[in-house]
A and B are shown apart, each in its own frame.
Chain A
Amino acid sequence: MSEIPENLSYTADHEWVGPNEGDGVKVGITDYAQDSLSDVVFVELPNVGDEYEQGEVMAVAESVKAASDIYAPIKGKITAVNEKLEESPELVNESPYGSGWMVQMEPSGEMSALIDAESYKNSLD
C-alpha cells in the first residue's frame, strides 16, 4: 500500500509537489513511483536556473532495469537540486517525500493542473 501524504499535491505522472514556504516548492516522485522503479541507482537532475514548462522532462531516474523520465509538475524555474542524490540515489527509495526530494522550483503561474492526495490515490486504484 503506497504512502500518500495529505499535505502534498500530485500529478497523474507520480510526481509530488510540496507546499510553498516562500522559497519555492519541493518536488519529488511518489512512494508508488519509487516502488515501481525499484532500486534507483542514478538520478540526472536539471541545473539550477533552468526553466521548464509544465510536463517537460526535467530529470531522469534510473533503476537497474530501466530509465524513467520525470516531468516538471508545474511551470517554473529550478532554484535548488538535491545534491545528496548524486552520492546516494537510494534516498529516493528510502524516503521519497523526505530526503529523497529532487528539485525545488519557483512556480511561475498557476498550479491548477495538480491533484490532491485523494484524487491521486483514486488514480492508482
Chain B
Amino acid sequence: MSLSKTCVHDEHEKLGAKMVDFAGWHMPIQYTSIVSEHNTVRERVGIFDVSHMGQVFVSGRDASSFLSYITTWDVSKLSNGDCRYCHILNDNGQIIDDTIVYTFTNDSYMLVPNASMVTKIYDWLNLKSADFEVSIDNKSDEFFCFAVQGPEAPRLLRQQFNLSITPFKLLEIGNLIISGTGYTGEKGYEIMGPISESLDVWKSFLDMGAIPIGLGARDTLRLEKGYLLSGTDFNGKQTTLESGYSWVIDWNHDFIGKDKLLLQKEEGHKLLKGILLEERGVLRPGLPVYFEGTQISELTSGSLSPLLKRGIGLSYLDLPIGTTVNISIRNKQLKGRVIQTPFL
C-alpha cells in the first residue's frame, strides 16, 4: 500500500524535511532538528501540517443527543462555537479514540479523530446511529489542517485575519474553520479548510515568520504536557479513568461505556502517570518499569524533555505519586520517580 500525502507534502520536501511513515501518511518528522523546533514552539511560533487528522461531520435533528451518547461529554450542553475535548469509548468503557467536538450549531458538529482512527470512528458512528436521525459525513480527504502554536501565534492571527481567538472556541472565516485548540500546551489555534486553499494558508504563515515543525517535536511538546497519544498511550484496552482523564467525563448523562466506568470506579484501577528519570538517559516506549525488583509495567510513551533535559515517560501504574521506580535501559536499572503530569 502506498503512503498518503497531505496537500502540502511537496512543500515539506522542498524545505528539506526528513520524512517518515506515520499512520499510513508520508509526514515530516523534522525540518532542521527536533530540539530546535521544540524550542521554537515554546519560545516563538511554529506551524504543523496535521492534515492527516480526520474531519467527520455529524448533523441532523438528533446530532446533539447522538454525540452525547457516543462521547464522554454531554454535547447537548455545548453552545454554538464551542470546542470540547472528550473520549469515544467502546461498550467496555475502553478508549477507541480521543477527539474534539466542534459545535457549529446544535444540529451540526464536526469530530476530529486521529489519522489512524478515522475509518474506525466513522464505522463506529454508523454502527451506533441506527436509532438516531443523523447524517454522518467523512470529509477527511477534503480538508487540510494546520496547527499554529507558540507565544507569538496570536500575533500572526491578527496579522493575517485581523482576528483573535479564545481557547476552545471556533470561528468560521470564509471556508476556513479556526479553533483555539492544539497539542502543545502553548497559545495557538488550528486552521482547517478545503484543500484548494491549503497552499495559500501554509505560505502566508511561513511568510509571517511561523517556523515549520515536524512530528518529532509535536511528540516531545505533547509529552511534556502529559497529553495522550492515540495508539500509544491508549490502544483500545484502557479506559478514560485509567488514562487519568476523568475530567472529560460528564457523569450526568448516558453514554456508551458509562456502566463499565461506574463499575471500575468502585473497584479501583491503575492510572497513567508520569515518570521522570532521575539519572541521565532517554526514556522510550516499551521500556520495562520495575518496583522493588519486580517488573510491574512498561512505558507507553517515552522521550527526553528538551526543556528539562531529563528522560520523561508515561506508564499505567498502581503506585502513588513520589514513588521511586526503576526503568531498565540496556540492562541497566535507572532510577525514576512517579510524578503527576504535566512535566512542565
* Interface residue ranges, A against B (CB under 8 Å): 38-39, 41-42, 44, 60, 62-65, 67, 86
In the complex, B249 has a CB within 8 A of chain A: no
In the complex, B306 has a CB within 8 A of chain A: yes
Asked if residues B280 and A64 are in contact (CB atoms below 8 Å), the reply is: no
Residue of A nearest to B217 (CB): A64
* Interface residue ranges, B against A (CB under 8 Å): 18, 29-30, 33-36, 216, 220, 280-282, 284, 303-304, 306, 309, 330
Asked if residues A64 and B220 are in contact (CB atoms below 8 Å), the reply is: yes
Interface centre among B29, B33, B282, B309 (most CB of A within 10 A): B282
Instruction: Choose among B35, B281, B330 the residue that contacts A64 (Cβ–Cβ < 8 A).
Output: B35
Q: Is the interface of A mostly helix, strand, loop or mixed?
A: strand
Asked if residues A41 and B309 are in contact (CB atoms below 8 Å), the reply is: yes
In Å, the complex CA distance between A113 and B281 comes to: 32
Asked if residues A39 and B282 are in contact (CB atoms below 8 Å), the reply is: no
Asked if residues A65 and B216 are in contact (CB atoms below 8 Å), the reply is: yes
Provide the residues of chain B in CB contact with A64, threshold 8 Å.
34-35, 216, 220, 282, 303-304, 306
Residue of B nearest to A57 (CB): B330
In Å, the complex CA distance between A42 and B334 comes to: 14
Given A64-B216, A67-B282, verify A38-B330 contact (CB < 8 Å).
no
In Å, the complex CA distance between A63 and B280 comes to: 13
Provide the residues of chain A in CB contact with B36, threshold 8 Å.
39
In Å, the complex CA distance between A38 and B220 comes to: 15
Asked if residues B29 and A39 are in contact (CB atoms below 8 Å), the reply is: no
Would you list 15 pairs from A and B whose C-beta atoms are within 8 A, ordered by A residue?
A38-B18, A38-B33, A39-B34, A41-B35, A41-B282, A41-B309, A42-B280, A44-B281, A44-B330, A62-B281, A63-B34, A64-B35, A64-B216, A64-B220, A64-B303
In Å, the complex CA distance between A38 and B330 comes to: 21
Provide the residues of chain B in CB contact with A38, threshold 8 Å.
18, 30, 33-34
Give the top 8 A-B pairs by smallest Cβ distance, nearest first: A64-B34, A62-B282, A39-B35, A39-B33, A41-B304, A42-B282, A38-B33, A39-B34
Provide the residues of chain A in CB contact with B281, threshold 8 Å.
42, 44, 62
In Å, the complex CA distance between A41 and B309 comes to: 8
| Whole-angstrom distance between the Cβ of A43 and the nearest chain B Cβ | 9
Provide the residues of chain B in CB contact with A62, threshold 8 Å.
281-282, 304
Interface centre among B216, B220, B280, B306 (most CB of A within 10 A): B280
In Å, the complex CA distance between A105 and B221 comes to: 39
Provide the residues of chain A in CB contact with B34, threshold 8 Å.
38-39, 63-65
Given A41-B309, A44-B330, A65-B34, verify A86-B304 contact (CB < 8 Å).
no
